[in-house]
């Protein structure tokens, strides 16, 4: 009766050796390494130097510069602020990255929903059983092949319903009881319902993960909306800073033109014997200083242009392109009578930071409720109803099954009570403290939002006052320059006095230009502080689809009212 023992032993040994070989040599079969990206050691350990070679004609010159060292004018492109907003919404990479986040969060919801999908399973086994009860009299041996397909359906109440259809074939070796069927076939079904009563019971306890995923999806949408607002605000700020840089360049070029005319006038006066040579030297100094201001302003314009091109990310306007961007929109210097209380209320309703904290508090409340349930004892009840059939052939087994002669009813009760339960209580206390901490953070965020709104309002009013003051400065500086020029022609003032007056006028115009642009930026900051955007058209965005390469997210402007 031991004819199967050596074969079984050898089969088990071969199976074990094959499993170990496959587990340890996976790379042998697929031909790949576990580290697919190999980085050379020098790439991360060595820091190279940047060798800058001076140009052959870079020797300093002593010749005085009398003309601006501007580069030839490139192709220019006039852009309104509305066009810049549209381009940023369509091409900004930061925004495109954030439009994918809601799609990722949506997959988290799908993953939690999938926890309640039905599961099909199948178990197949072969067993060779030698009975120990008859070993002294020769014993008996049985070969059994069984297959048990089944279907399991998780319930949102925490329980589950399962249907199993076990089928098997058995063959006896050795002495058998009188009337025994050899070989024999069995068939049957078993329906099992299990349901927890305390821990893990109920709809809310089993949909906790789904609620967290939905809250997280809404948080991702709130953060995406915040990114849309941030991108639009960044575009507006960069646009007006480019406008300010170009206006500053115009002011410095005008100052240079005045310095050149002063130099020419000084040369005529010296030639006529009215003034001394020192006036020409002073005038040349003023021309050189104005050239330095032009060089600095031109570099600032290039920096602002590159920054705007980066934010817009238009395919036809890469950062190295020589195209000159010219802001076509002008500042709207209008006085606004603002209601600070209403603006703070709008900010508390519209700021996505506040909504994100509200959703996080909802997550904390759900987590706290779930951990309170997890601290309960585990009490589960189960019921199984089964039918079985046995026969010499498969059809005989199924015929006996449908006769319903062999039925089974089984009720089970399982109780598990942790002694002490300190781990679960600690997690619950930690969740309670986390929620309390978040509530304090929400109160602090409310205070910060109110402060940001009030500061934005004050900054807007301050910049308006700056506009009024600097307008008066420009008028007075222009009159002072005119008077200094007349007195210089009469020999009553030096070139230095005229240059100082020219500088005062340029500085006044520069301050007025800065006040106008800062006033526009202050309006942008106020809109950002209230969670809104400037302009007459609202903005609406749609997240990316499951395949962002074929269904990217979009941001569009709605028709203005």
The domain spanning residue 271 has which CATH number? 1.20.1600.10
Beta strand pairing status for 324-327 and 76-79?
A: parallel
- Does residue 526 share a domain with residue 455? yes
- Does residue 315 share a domain with residue 168? no
pLDDT per position as a tens digit, 203-225: 999 999 999 999 999 999 999 88
Note whether 284 and 65 are within 8 A (CB): no
Please determine, for residue 14, whether its predicted confidence score (pLDDT) is greater than 70: no
Question: Which residue shows structure tokens 């178990």?
Answer: 123
The pLDDT-based confidence of 92 (bands split at 50, 70, 90) is confident
Please determine, for residue 434, whether its predicted confidence score (pLDDT) is greater than 90: yes
Nearest alpha-carbon partner for 171 in 422, 392, 423: 392
- Does residue 438 share a domain with residue 329? yes
The pLDDT-based confidence of 68 (bands split at 50, 70, 90) is low
- Does residue 471 share a domain with residue 346? yes
In a domain, 436, yes or no: yes
- Does residue 95 share a domain with residue 132? no
User: Please, which residues have CB within 8 angstroms of residue 331's CB and are 6 or more apart in sequence?
Assistant: 240, 243, 516, 517, 519, 520
- Does residue 188 share a domain with residue 306? no
Which of 46-50, 99-103, 273-277, 509-513 ranks highest by mean pLDDT? 509-513
In a domain, 544, yes or no: no
**Which of 16-20, 47-51, 153-157, 553-557 shows the lowest per-residue confidence on average (mean pLDDT)?**
16-20
> Would you state the pLDDT for residue 12?
55
> Would you state the pLDDT for residue 1?
41
Note whether 515 and 480 are within 8 A (CB): no
Task: Give ∠ CA 140-143-148 in degrees, rounded to 5.
Answer: 135
3 state DSSP class of 509: helix
Side-chain-side CA neighbours of 198 within 13 Å: the count stands at 12
φ and ψ of 533, to 5 deg: -130, 155
Please determine, for residue 353, whether its predicted confidence score (pLDDT) is greater than 70: yes
In a domain, 67, yes or no: no
- Does residue 104 share a domain with residue 123? no
> Would you state the pLDDT for residue 333?
85
CA–CA separation, 416 and 378 (whole Å): 5
Sign of the CA dihedral running 254, 255, 258, 263: negative
Q: Could you write out the three-class secondary structure of 196-244?
A: ECCCCCCHHHHCHHHHHHHHHHHHHHHHHHHHHHHHHHHHHHHHHHHHH
φ and ψ of 463, to 5 deg: -70, -30
Mean pLDDT of 447-466: 94
Q: What is the pTM of this model?
A: 0.78
Q: Supply the Cα-derived Rg of the chain in whole angstroms.
A: 42
In a domain, 92, yes or no: yes
In a domain, 168, yes or no: yes
Question: Which residue shows structure tokens 């940047």?
Answer: 50
Note whether 384 and 213 are within 8 A (CB): no
In a domain, 462, yes or no: yes
In a domain, 555, yes or no: no
CA–CA separation, 30 and 103 (whole Å): 33
CA–CA separation, 212 and 223 (whole Å): 16
> Would you state the pLDDT for residue 58?
47
Domain around 463: 76-110+210-362+429-535
pLDDT per position as a tens digit, 132-187: 654 444 457 788 899 999 999 999 999 999 999 999 998 877 665 555 667 888 88
> Would you state the pLDDT for residue 542?
76
CA–CA separation, 457 and 466 (whole Å): 14
- The DSSP call for residue 486 is H
In a domain, 455, yes or no: yes
Question: Which residue shows structure tokens 């990206």?
Answer: 37
CA–CA separation, 406 and 394 (whole Å): 16
Q: How many domains in the chain?
A: 2
- Does residue 178 share a domain with residue 304? no
The pLDDT-based confidence of 94 (bands split at 50, 70, 90) is confident
CA–CA separation, 350 and 532 (whole Å): 7
Please determine, for residue 71, whether its predicted confidence score (pLDDT) is greater than 60: no
Please determine, for residue 57, whether its predicted confidence score (pLDDT) is greater than 80: no
Please determine, for residue 490, whether its predicted confidence score (pLDDT) is greater than 90: no
User: What's the distance, CA 231 to chain centroid?
Assistant: 13
Please determine, for residue 543, whether its predicted confidence score (pLDDT) is greater than 60: yes
- Does residue 450 share a domain with residue 320? yes
Quote the percentage of the chain above a pLDDT of 70.
81
- Does residue 221 share a domain with residue 350? yes
The pLDDT-based confidence of 2 (bands split at 50, 70, 90) is very low
Note whether 411 and 380 are within 8 A (CB): no
CA–CA separation, 158 and 209 (whole Å): 13
> Would you state the pLDDT for residue 405?
77
- Does residue 279 share a domain with residue 138? no
CA–CA separation, 425 and 376 (whole Å): 10
Please determine, for residue 523, whether its predicted confidence score (pLDDT) is greater than 70: yes
DSSP-assigned letters across all residues of 436-484 = HHHHHHHHHHHHHHHHHHHHHHHHHHHHHHHHHHHHHHHHHHHHHHHHH
User: Please, which residues have CB within 8 angstroms of residue 11's CB and are 6 or more apart in sequence?
Assistant: none
- The DSSP call for residue 137 is G
- Does residue 247 share a domain with residue 356? yes
């Amino acid at each position: 009766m031991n004819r199967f023992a050596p074969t079984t032993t050898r089969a088990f040994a071969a199976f074990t050796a094959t499993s170990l070989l496959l587990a340890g040599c996976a790379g042998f079969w697929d031909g790949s390494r576990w580290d697919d990206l190999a980085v050379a050691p020098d790439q991360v350990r060595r820091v190279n130097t940047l060798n800058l070679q001076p140009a052959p004609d870079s020797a300093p010159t002593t010749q005085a510069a009398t003309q601006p060292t501007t580069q030839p004018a490139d192709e220019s492109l006039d852009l309104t602020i509305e066009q810049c907003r549209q381009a940023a919404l369509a091409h900004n990479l930061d925004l495109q990255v954030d439009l994918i986040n809601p799609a990722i969060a949506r997959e988290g919801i799908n993953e939690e929903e999938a926890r309640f999908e039905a599961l099909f399973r199948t178990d197949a086994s072969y067993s060779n059983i030698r009975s120990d009860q008859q070993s002294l009299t020769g014993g008996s041996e049985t070969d059994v092949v069984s297959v048990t397909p089944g279907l399991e359906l998780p319930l949102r109440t925490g329980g589950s319903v399962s249907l199993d259809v076990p089928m098997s074939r058995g063959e006896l070796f050795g002495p058998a009881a009188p009337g025994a069927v050899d070989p024999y076939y069995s068939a049957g079904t078993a329906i099992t319902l299990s349901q927890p009563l305390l821990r893990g019971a109920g709809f809310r306890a089993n949909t906790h993960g789904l609620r967290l995923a939905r809250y997280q999806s809404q948080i991702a949408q709130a953060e995406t909306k915040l990114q849309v607002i941030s991108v639009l605000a960044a575009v507006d700020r960069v646009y007006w800073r480019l406008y300010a840089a170009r206006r500053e360049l115009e002011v410095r070029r005008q100052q240079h033109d005045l310095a050149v005319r002063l130099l020419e006038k000084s040369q005529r006066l010296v030639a006529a014997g009215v003034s001394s040579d020192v006036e020409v030297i002073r005038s040349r100094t003023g021309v050189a200083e104005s050239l330095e201001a032009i060089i600095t302003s031109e570099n600032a314009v290039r920096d602002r242009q590159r920054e705007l091109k980066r934010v817009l990310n238009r395919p036809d306007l890469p950062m190295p392109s020589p195209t000159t961007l010219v802001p076509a929109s002008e500042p709207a210097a209008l006085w606004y009578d603002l209601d600070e209380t209403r603006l703070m209320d709008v900010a508390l309703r519209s700021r996505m930071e506040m909504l994100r904290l509200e959703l996080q508090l909802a997550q904390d409340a759900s987590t706290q409720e779930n951990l309170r349930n997890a601290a309960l004892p585990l009490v589960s009840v189960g019921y199984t109803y089964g039918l079985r059939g046995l026969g010499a052939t498969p059809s005989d087994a199924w015929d006996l099954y449908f006769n319903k002669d062999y039925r089974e009813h089984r009720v089970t009760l399982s109780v598990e009570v942790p002694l002490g339960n300190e781990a679960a209580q600690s997690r619950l206390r930690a969740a309670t403290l986390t929620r309390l901490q978040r509530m304090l953070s929400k109160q602090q965020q409310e205070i910060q939002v109110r402060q940001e709104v009030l500061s934005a309002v004050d900054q807007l009013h301050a910049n308006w006052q700056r506009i009024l003051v600097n307008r008066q400065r420009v008028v007075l500086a222009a009159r002072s320059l005119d008077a200094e020029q007349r007195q210089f022609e009469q020999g009553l003032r030096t070139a230095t006095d005229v240059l100082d007056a020219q500088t005062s006028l340029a500085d006044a115009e520069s301050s007025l230009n800065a006040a106008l642009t800062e006033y526009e930026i202050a309006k942008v900051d106020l809109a950002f502080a209230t969670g809104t955007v400037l302009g007459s058209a609202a903005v609406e965005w749609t997240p990316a689809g499951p395949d962002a390469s074929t269904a990217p997210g979009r941001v569009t402007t709605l028709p203005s009212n």
